[in-house]
Structure 1
Amino acid sequence: MKVIESKAIKVGIADLKFVKAPDTIRTSGLGSCVGVVVYDATIKIAGLAHVMLPDSQSAKKTDFNQHKYADTVIPTLIDTLLNQGARKFALKAKIAGGAQMFSFSSKNDMLRVGERNVEAVKGVLDEYRIPIISEDIYGSSGRTIEFSPETSILHIRTVSQGAKEI
């Protein structure tokens, strides 16, 4: 009997990585950030973006990190998967995060980073016509997520709320 070893590929904040089964892909520190997994279940390939901010319009061009923003990282995620052999019609997404980590008395939209991140992620995925199969969003607790392209299951550990799978 052959034992297949797998490893967990770690994705940092404002980062993007790809994985093929049997390896898994994970990120932690999802507070107001959103973890976006796009995958092709048939060929068992996936990419994970750790989205920090909704859009790059106000970004400073001097130290620009395209992996930080929903509007720049998701197109890169999709294009790279397609270049790796994924099929456009087979792509699906799972998302988690977008928490409101602090309570504010102000109604200032700029403070709703988690909500704005989720809206931006959903908007870009919709533009590309990639269905969101499941989501674990909002709330007020941080998350760690790990996706298996082998099973297409997203494992989510939420601070002080335990674990679940979507």
Structure 2
Amino acid sequence: MTLASSCFFDPTRGRTLVKVLPGEYYVTAGQELIGTTLGSCVCACLWDGEAGVGGLNHFMLPEAKGGLGPLSQANRYGTHAMESLVNGLLALGARRDRLQAKLFGGGQIYGEGRIGDQNIAFVEAFVAKEGIRVLARSLGGQQARKVLFEPCDGRAWVKHLRKLANDTLVLREDQLARQLAIKEDGKVELFR
């Protein structure tokens, strides 16, 4: 079960690596690795070690403003990305009470925006409400992050990026800041 558009064989690790882009998620019971690169966006790495399933999402904003449009657009928002990830894992045999999490991202890498802070508040409220135990977090700060996740056993690696290889992440952050109106109060309403 997937909504990730890019995968390739990583010869240094001898395995398939699935790259999750903004608005995507990926769940698996297989042996592939899952990776993403984050600025103000957040990813949640969730897994059920007993069932041997896990997944990762990558969302840009806590909630949608107005109509949702196609699924790929809906998953840009935390409310839908988290539900898609949890439901995808349950469909593969995970149990909600065994889910564990590692949370990454929410950096302020562009301007004065509070997008990262709002994404962090959302994801922490979501896992708390759902009773998902968080084993690690690397949230906030001023740097982008590259995340690599081992979905079947929950191992994760994060690399703080002091310098970006290109300006794609900064351009995406700029586009978000210009195109999307963000709630200033940071309140997020969760649904089940």
TM-score > 0.5, shorter chain as reference = yes
Q: Does 1:155 align with 2:157?
A: yes
> CA–CA distance in 2 between the matches of 1:117 and 1:36?
11
- Deviating beyond 4 angstroms after TM superposition, the runs of 4 or more aligned structure 1 residues are none
Q: 1:101 to 1:85 in 2, by over 3 A?
A: same
Q: TM-score, normalised by structure 1?
A: 0.82
What are structure 2's unaligned runs of at least 5 residues? 1-13, 164-192
Give the deviation of 1:61 after TM superposition. 3.8
Shift of 1:125: 1.5
Question: Per the alignment, do residues 126 and 18 of structure 1 end up closer, same or farther by CA in structure 2, a change over 3 Å counting?
Answer: same
Where in structure 1 are there 5+ consecutive unaligned residues?
Answer: 105-110, 162-166
* Counterpart Cα distance in 1 of 2:69 and 2:134: 34
Q: Is residue 12 of structure 2 the alignment partner of residue 10 of structure 1?
A: no
TM-score (norm 2): 0.72
1:123 corresponds, among 96, 102, 125, to 125
Paired residues, number: 149
Residue identity in the other structure for 2:16: K
Question: What is the aligned partner in structure 2 of residue 43 from structure 1?
Answer: 51
Q: How far apart, CA to CA, are the structure 1 residues paired with 2:144 and 2:66? A: 25
Q: What one-letter code is carried by the residue in structure 2 that aligns with 1:68?
A: R
User: Deviation digits for residues 101-138 of structure 1, max 9, x if unmatched?
Assistant: 1343xxxxxx2100100101111122211111110011
SS where residue 7 of structure 1 aligns?
strand
AA partner of residue 149 (structure 1) = P
Structure-to-structure mapping, 1:27-106, within 5 angstroms: 27-28=36-37, 30-56=38-64, 58-62=65-69, 65-104=73-112
* Mapped pair 1:146 → 2:148: yes
More strand by share: 1
Deviation at 1:44, TM superposition (A): 2.1
Aligned CA distance change for structure 1 residues 61 and 78 (closer, same or farther; 3 Å): closer
CA distance 1:63–1:20, shift in 2 (3 Å) = closer
The residue matched to 2:58 in structure 1 has which SS? strand
| Partners of 2:137 and 2:66 in 1: CA distance | 27
- The percentage of aligned residue pairs carrying the same residue is 26
